[in-house]
A = this chain, B = another copy of it.
Amino acid sequence: CPRLVSLVDKVKEIVETNEVRRLPKIPKGTRDFGKEQMAIREHAFSIITGVFKMHGAVSLDTPVFELRETLMGKYGEDSKLIYDLADQGGELCSLRYDLTVPFARYVAMNNISSLKRYQIAKVYRRDNPSKGRYREFYQCDFDIAGVYETMEPDFEVIKVLTELLDQLDIGTYEIKLNHRKLLDGMLEICGVPPEKFRTVCSSIDKLDKQTFEQVKKELVDEKGISNETADKIGDLVKTRGPPLEVLLELRKEGSKFMGNAGSVTALNELEILFKALDKANAIGKIVFDLSLARGLDYYTGVIYEAVFKGTTQVGSIAAGGRYDNLVGMFSGKQVPAVGVSLGIERVFAIMEQQEMEKNQIRATETEVLVSIIGKDLILAAELVSELWNAGIKAEFKLTTRIQNHLKYATQSGIPWMVLVGESEISSGKVKLKNLAASQEEEVDRTEFAQVLKQKLRNP
Contacts and interface: CB of A to CB of B under 8 A. Distances in A.
A382 B155 CA distance: 12
Interface stretch (A24-32, A211-219, A432-440): A24-32
A27 to B, nearest CB: 5
Interface in A328-371: 330-332, 363-366
B276 A24 contact: no
Interface string A71-110: 0000000000001111110110101000000000110111
B23 A54 contact: no
13 contacts: A23-B331, A26-B70, A26-B109, A35-B117, A53-B365, A85-B86, A85-B95, A155-B381, A159-B388, A275-B381, A277-B381, A279-B381, A280-B384
Nearest to A90: B28
Interface stretch (A61-69, A181-189, A253-261): A61-69
Contact of A70 (B24, B272, B282): B24
Identify which of A54, A148, A281 gathers the most chain B CB atoms within 10 Å of its CB. Answer: A54
Interface centre among A65, A277, A379, A398, by most B CB within 10 Å? Answer: A65
Contacts of A309: none
Dominant secondary structure at the A interface: mixed
A131 interface: no
A21 interface: yes
B32 A106 contact: yes
A27 B63 contact: yes
Interface string A303-342: 0000000000000000000000000001110000000000
Interface of A: 20-21, 23-28, 30-35, 38-39, 41-42, 53-67, 69-70, 83-88, 90-91, 93, 95, 105-106, 108-111, 117, 122, 124, 126, 136, 148-152, 155, 159, 163, 272, 275-277, 279-282, 330-332, 363-366, 375, 377-382, 384-385, 388-389, 391, 393-395, 398, 412
Contacts of A35: 58-60, 117
Oligomeric state, in copies: 2
Given A38-B59, A126-B88, A24 B377 contact: no
A54 B280 CA distance: 41
A60 B33 contact: yes
A389 B59 CA distance: 22
A17 B432 CA distance: 76
A56 B155 contact: no
A3 B227 CA distance: 50
